[in-house]
Structure 1
């Protein structure tokens, strides 16, 4: 081999090595980007996994006002919501995602189905003043939530907040709890009869215990607690201490 040929061979080898090095660098960069995307996706998934606290209840029960007090510690004028309100509630070195679900019966089911997979807890707001005339609607709404298989499987915690306690005609939480247990017991019988009259079976869990009058203590693995609040008060942050404590414990 002549000297010129040797030089050409060496130049070719150098070019190939350089080319291989560039290809290797591109491959490493692609792998690094892929791993970064996977880790980011896992981080996002972990970040959002069961961090949701759903604020639910009938229209005009005070959900959005309580949402504002929890997230921003301020009083705001509210109106009936047609879409969800979402905000992050910082707790220790972590956060919970508070989601205020519209109370209208035509909207709440859609939003509940959308967010229940990330639900860790439910804050269910009751208007203590109008409760007696709305008890059937409140009980039916609660029945849907308490028998939902996704919430039951996730051991979801419930805080039923009896709101507007500053008003004269408001029912106390103990009275509301007792009346709800009786109404849910009647509703359970009605639902059971409806299921036996149609073909197929429901995927919903049974509410309470068979052959026993319903009590909230029977909702295991779901845990149900009660609290009182006066969110309409412009200084209501202090009136929501029980809610703040519940969020800290969840």
Structure 2
């Protein structure tokens, strides 16, 4: 009888250990799932978007290796490379990033959608000197990006990189550009809603005038604007944005 009780105690002890081990594994799996749902899949992709001639490829080259090709580079194909930022080489401050330069031609713009699952941040490049003549085209492209992100689980931040600030008074300020874009997007939102495009027009807060602040509050998409110059290598705000987007090693 004593041997039976001793054996029973051993089996009960083993059962308790197995049960505890099972629940421990279950808890770890649940914690991993929660972390995945909060942060989304890992990725280090930074997209460069914007209309033709804004300077996306020049910024791409400056970020990648510090060159600028005299600011006259034009790209008609998607360019992608995983690299250490030129300003970070030797410092090992952040992990290598995957820079993806999407051409601004209307037939090529939609290709950004294939990269959004791994995207950490979007640099939307604008020619601040030619902004007024391009404002409608800029707003339409940005609207497409925003509505795409609004429907996605991951919502990377967007930097409006108002390029060519080296042109002085000819270049509009980042604050002016942001406010005019808000007005243009509001017009697009109203027009598309009136045409019956349904939920695609619901960005920002319904019933309120569109603003970047409302967009962040309602859809969680943060948009900031900074004046930069690819030609003068004045890209501190761009590299700072990337550092905030890409996790450290």
Please classify the TM superposition score into its range, dividing by the shorter chain length: 0.7 to 0.9
Which of 203, 206, 222 is matched with 2:202 structurally? 206
Distance 1:189 1:205 in 2: 7
Structure 1 segments unaligned to the other structure (5+ residues):
1-47
Distance 1:241 1:93 in 2: 15
Maintained 8 Å contact 2:94/2:243: no
Q: How do 1:181-220 residues align onto structure 2 when only pairs under 5 Å count?
A: 181-195=182-196, 201-202=198-199, 204=200, 206-220=202-216
Structure ID, larger Rg: 1
Matched, 1:245 2:240: yes
Q: Which deviations, in whole Å up to 9, do the C-alpha atoms of 1:72-111 show, x marking residues without a partner? A: 01221444312111122436352221100011001121x2
Give RMSD over aligned pairs.
Answer: 1.9
Q: Which residue of 1 aligns with 2:8?
A: none
Q: How do 1:163-178 residues align onto structure 2 when only pairs under 5 Å count?
A: 163-167=163-167, 168-178=169-179
1:227 is paired with a residue whose SS is strand
1:243 is paired with a residue whose SS is helix
Q: Which deviations, in whole Å up to 9, do the C-alpha atoms of 1:203-237 show, x marking residues without a partner? A: x472110111111011221111111111123xx1x
Structure 2 segments unaligned to the other structure (5+ residues):
1-40, 85-91
Structure 1 consecutive aligned stretches of length 4 or more whose deviation exceeds 3 Å: 149-152
Maintained 8 Å contact 2:46/2:97: yes
Q: 1:156 to 1:205 in 2, by over 3 A?
A: farther
Q: 1:187 to 1:144 in 2, by over 3 A?
A: same
2:207 is paired with a residue whose SS is coil
Which of 77, 81, 98 is matched with 1:83 structurally? 77
| Paired positions, count | 193
Distance 1:205 1:222 in 2: 15
1:94 is paired with a residue whose SS is coil
User: How much does 1:149 deviate?
Assistant: 4.2
Matched, 1:226 2:221: no
- What TM-score comes out, normalization by structure 2 length? 0.72
Maintained 8 Å contact 2:190/2:201: no
